[in-house]
Amino acid sequence: MNEYDSELVRSILKKENYEFVTDERAADIVMLNTCAIREHAHRKVYGRVHTIRHTRGKASPVMIGILGCMATNLRQELFEDRTLKIDFIAGPDSYKRLPQLIREASDEGQKSYDVTLSEFETYSDIYPDAQDRANPSTASRVNAWIAVMRGCNNFCTFCVVPYTRGRERSRSPENVVDEVRRLSAEGFKQVTLLGQNVNSYRHDDYDFAYLMDEVSKVEGIERIRFTSPHPKDFPDRFLDLMASNPKICKHIHLPLQAGNNRILDMMNRTYTKEEFLTLVEKVRAKIPNVALTTDIIVGFPTETDEEFEDTLQVVKKAQFDSAFNFKYSERQGTVASKKYPDDVPEAIKTERIMCLNEVQKEITYQKNRAHIGEIQSVLLEPYPEAKNTNQMPGRTDGGKLVILPLGPYKGGDLVKVRITDATPHALKGQPV
Ligand code: 5AD
Ligand code: SF4
């Protein structure tokens, strides 16, 4: 979402004649689009601002702006920290005001900010062009992100997103399809529909299944992905559409978060482990080759060894293709931070995440090995020019990385590939 939001920002500022440079040292203004989801992301931003200030020094001053979720959450802290010297701050719903905020900060020398959250802003009138979207190092036109909804109403107790990004709101299906048509005309082969809660998409009477179906009718777009859904919104109609529509990739990122019912309840996830596993079974029955991935948090307040053991059991049963595992990190303003002291010691969190990573790594390895011998359709990613390599990366329909030898093909091509080998991290293949 932040990558996409940065594309929106490029688009908004380019209209005001700002020029974008890829070399930070050549910039008059540096903006960091920040994430507040975990402590790690937070610390990275502080580190980065200090590095920029240090390398530029007094001889070559630079304006620094903080965008995104940290802006919403930490406006005061960011401005008060004198070592950071932040010039302006814009939250996720304030990017259209950036030209004004920058003017205020540079012409009038004042610190400027806007972190107001909106119930309506979807940036539906801003279409980043191919250049705004291009990853500058690859000039890629393979995948384009599109946020179809923004915000979250779920209030999982550990999560800061409802506070930093505000309430759910969706773009109209016509508006999304219009953008997808443009992307197709610009040569993009894949679109990834984004939302903090993407399958809660709702515009008037139109739901996410309707939207996906409409998007899949756009000619030239060969693959459609989406992220991230919540397990509560998977009606049969949507799963049946996924199963029958060849353009919709057979991959669902299905965040489990925990495999113990007491913890799930404290997290306000609204499902039990049994319900989650029943959904997994249903998904696999309807979409036989589906790839399932997940997010898991270890060390939520009061989680015992036995309760963590339940998470391991669910992971073994669900057989995810891969998982992002995180240590619980208390976030300011969340229900958990007010109600539940962060009482699982860091050493226990580390022990649990290492154990979980180990179990998942073996499952991922077995899942990857099961593809050996298959013929898969692989969408090639741009050749990584920066890295001088004789390999070409691509993705299977299920989203797995495949490494191919260089050949007479380029980024954006869909090629048939025989999977010849697998590691816990990637597949290897030969075009057929
Ligand atoms: N601590 C640790 N992980 C978190 N996530 C969200 N909030 C927290 C937190 N406070 C994880 C969840 C979510 C993913 C994007 O980040 O697993 O699905
Ligand atoms: Fe956060 Fe839960 Fe909303 Fe996902 S669904 S963004 S974890 S509050």
Looking at the structure, do residues 84 and 179 belong to the same domain, yes or no? Answer: no
Domain endpoint, select from 350, 369, 388:
369
Identity at 331, one-letter amino acid code: R
Asked whether the CA dihedral 121, 124, 128, 130 is positive or negative, the reply is positive
Q: Is residue 42 part of a domain?
A: yes
> What is the rounded CA–CA span in Å between residue 111 and residue 79?
8
Which bound ligand lies closest to the C-alpha atom of 163? 2
Whether residue 119 lies inside any domain: the answer is no
What is the distance in A from the centroid of ligand 2 to the CA of 155? 6
Say yes or no: CB of residue 331 within 6 Å of ligand 1.
Answer: yes
Q: Residues 68, 12: one domain?
A: yes
- Domain membership of residue 97 (yes or no) is yes
Ligand nearest to the CA of 157: 2
Range of the domain at 365: 130-369
Q: Select from 315, 335, 369 the last residue of a domain.
A: 369
Say what the pLDDT of residue 251 is. 98
Place of tokens 């397990």: 231
pLDDT for 137:
45
201 and 252 inside one domain? yes
Tokens at 131, concatenated? 């250049």
**Three-state secondary structure readout of the chain:** CHHHHHHHHHHHHHCCCCCCCCCHHHCCEEEEEECCCCHHHHHHHHHHHHHHHHHHCCCCCCEEEEEEHHHHHHHHHHHHCCCCCCCEEECCCCHHHHHHHHHHHHHCCCCEEECCCCCCCCCCCCCCCHHHHCCCCCCCCCEEEEECEECCCCCCCCCCHHHHHCCCEECCHHHHHHHHHHHHHCCCCEEEEECCCHHHCEECCEEHHHHHHHHHCCCCCCEEEEECCCCCCCCHHHHHHHHHCCCECCEEECCCECCCHHHHHHCCCCCCHHHHHHHHHHHHHHCCCCEEEEEEEECCCCCCHHHHHHHHHHHHHHCCCEEEEEECCCCCCCHHHHHCCCCCCHHHHHHHHHHHHHHHHHHHHHHHHCCCCCEEEEEECCCCCCCCCCEEEEECCCCCEEEEECCCCCCCCEEEEEEEEECCCCEEEEEC
User: Does residue 343 share a domain with residue 384?
Assistant: no
Q: Is residue 124 part of a domain?
A: no
Contacts of 226 (CB under 8 A, 6+ apart): 192, 193, 194, 195, 198, 199, 208, 212
Looking at the CA of residue 255, tell me the nearest atom of ligand 1: 18
Q: Is 123 part of a structural domain of the chain?
A: no
In angstroms, the Cα distances linking 149 to 1, 93, 122, 197, 407 are 11, 12, 7, 8, 39
Please check whether residue 87 is in contact with residue 107, taking contact to mean a CB–CB distance below 8 angstroms.
no
Shared-domain flag, residues 100 and 142: no
Only one residue has tokens 């997103």, namely 161
Contact (CB, 8 A) for 409 and 431: yes
Instruction: Note whether 20 and 43 are same-domain residues.
Output: yes
Q: Is residue 76 part of a domain?
A: yes
Q: Identify residue 18 by its one-letter amino acid code.
A: Y
State whether 355 and 385 are in the same domain: no
CATH of residue 420's domain is 2.40.50
**Does 145 sit in the ligand 1 pocket, CB within 6 Å?**
no
Please state at what angle helix 2-14 crosses helix 98-107, rounded to 10 degrees. 70
What count of residues does the chain have? 432
Domain boundary among 317, 348, 369: 369
Q: Work out which ligand 1 atom sits closest to the CA atom of 257.
A: 17
State the first-to-last Cα distance of the chain, in angstroms, to the nearest integer.
Answer: 35
Q: Tell me: do 68 and 183 sit in the same domain.
A: no
151 and 210 in a single domain? The answer is yes
Asked if residue 75 is part of any domain, the answer here is: yes
Domain containing residue 282: CATH number = 3.80.30.20
| Same domain? 146 vs 267 | yes
87 and 156 share a domain? no
Query: Does a structural domain hold residue 125?
Result: no
Atom of ligand 2 nearest to the CA of 165: 6
Report whether residue 159 contacts ligand 2, using a CB cutoff of 6 Å: yes
* Total domain count, the chain: 3
Co-location of 162 and 234 in the same domain: yes
Burial class (CB in 10 A: 0-12, 13-18, 19+), 410: exposed
How far is ligand 1, taken at its centre, from the CA of residue 114, in Å? 26
CATH assignment of the domain containing 28: 3.40.50.12160
User: How much distance in Å is there from the Cα of 300 to the middle of ligand 2?
Assistant: 15
| Low pLDDT (below 70) residues in the chain | 134-139, 384-388
Q: Which ligand is nearest the CA of 296, by number?
A: 1
